[in-house]
Amino acid sequence: MNEDATHNLIIRFLYGETSKSENILVADKLASDIIFCDIYNELRAVYNALDSVKMRSPNSSSVQIILNHSKSIALEQMM
């Protein structure tokens, strides 16, 4: 399994987006492949850390600038 496919499979597994057969594959690889296990542990740590990230809402003036720009583009396209 190439590195990109491995990462993709593990990420989908962590988010519960894998099929039953893929779940079995992940379980087998975790039991038998130390490199796969290391990658899994790294990605699992990142996945768990995402829950603690605090997102800030954008500044209301920034939102207004974006809305005004979008409105002006829409008006230009109508003309």
Per-domain boundaries in the chain:
3-78
In this predicted model, what pLDDT tens digit does every residue of 31-58 receive, in sequence order? 999 999 999 999 999 999 998 888 889 9
Of the candidates 8, 50, 48, 49, the residue with the CA atom closest to the CA atom of residue 26: 8
pLDDT in tens, 5-20: 999 999 999 999 999 9
Please state, in angstroms and as integers, the Cα–Cα distance from residue 44 to each residue in 22, 24, 35, following that order.
17, 18, 14
* Model confidence at 75: pLDDT above 90: no
